[in-house]
Amino acid sequence: MRKVCHNTLWLALKDAPKDNRHQRRSEASKRRKERRRRKMGDLAGAIRMGTSHFVSLKDAVQYYTTYGSDPEDVEQMLQDKDIFIGPPKLGPGEKLSVDEDGRYVINY
């Protein structure tokens, strides 16, 4: 606090309420988090992990052709066991779903 030339004014300023910018920022952060949580709904905090497992060969070919691979490349990935057709094994607490590309997704 900067001291003003009059002692009485300095005492009045010293006892004045502190700036509450930090409190306002904290409240704004809480409001943003709450809006984000409401927007996400039940998925808030959920973790989804895409796998290398596909529902069908057709889905795998469609998925990898968008990245520039040929169907022969996908066949080679299957032979090399880089990708798989069929659901993966799940651990405790894991749930399985399928995304819009036909790829299995593990939800935690």
Nearest to 83 by CA among 7, 62, 12, 10: 62
The per-residue pLDDT for range 27-63, each reduced to its tens digit, is: 777 787 777 767 666 554 478 899 999 999 999 999 9
The per-residue pLDDT for range 5-30, each reduced to its tens digit, is: 555 555 555 555 556 655 666 777 77
CA distance 93 to 25: 37
Sheet of strand 95-98, all strands in order from the earlier edge strand to the far edge: 84-85, 48-54, 103-107, 95-98
CA distance 84 to 54: 6
| pTM more than 0.85 | no
